[in-house]
Structure 1
């Protein structure tokens, strides 16, 4: 059975504050991306099912490039399969902008073209059964 909701995508944008720096070089830990995946999955479930849903599992997570404080991120969730209660979702974090401070311009930043794919994942969320 084809579900017309498959292919639905939600995108959030987020600036990574310097207060989230976790490692040298202004690196942010990988859990930061996973938290963002939870946020965008929640909106996807609300829009498609009228419920926030519960994250059940990840079947794959790939950290492909660093996320740094000062980055501007796009976080996308795309529904790839819908079961009776489960929703399989592909996730991607793209760095679309990055801080580029210099002593002369400490707040300098640049838009990245092309964007850098930093993190990808596939996860499953569960929503309540539809009312009869």
Structure 2
């Protein structure tokens, strides 16, 4: 039995994650943009489960903006917000923000909680879920 959709505009899901050093691929311990997109996939999956009792499928991105670097040692927060609800599709706005940053210049394990999160990546995407009855 399929449960009716609970998808509404403004519904959101947020995940936080520590970015380990094995994700650094570039000088300065930079992490590639695919890391942000993978987190967006994870929050989109939970969003679909929460609203439609199905993992859903990620159909497309209509916009992706890389605004600031993500580095190994960061703690990042990815948020997905439904901005449009169709019969089977949902338009979702995504934001990935750095909320804590490693400070190796202050010691090998030094880090700080940022007073203001740094918006690192934004995107708009479309997810598709099965028809509910």
TM-score by length of 2: 0.93
In the other structure, the counterpart of 1:117 is: 119
Alpha-carbon distance, 1:105 to partner:
2.4
Alignment of 1:61-100 (within 5 A): 61-100=64-103
Displacement, 1:5?
1.3
Q: Which residue of 1 aligns with 2:31?
A: 28
- Secondary structure (helix, strand or coil) at the match of 2:118 reads strand
Normalising to structure 1: TM-score of the pair? 0.94
1:101 is displaced (CA, Å) by 1.4
Residue 4 of structure 1 deviates from its aligned partner by: 6.8
Gap regions ≥5 residues in structure 1: none
For 1:105 and 1:88, locate their aligned partners in 2 and report how far apart those are by CA, in whole Å: 43
CA-atom RMSD, angstroms?
1.2
Distance 1:128 1:4, change over 3 A: closer
CA 4–17 in structure 1, closer or farther in 2 if over 3 Å, else same: closer
Q: Deviations over 1:77-131 (max 9, x none)?
A: 00000100001000000000000013x7210000111110000000000000002
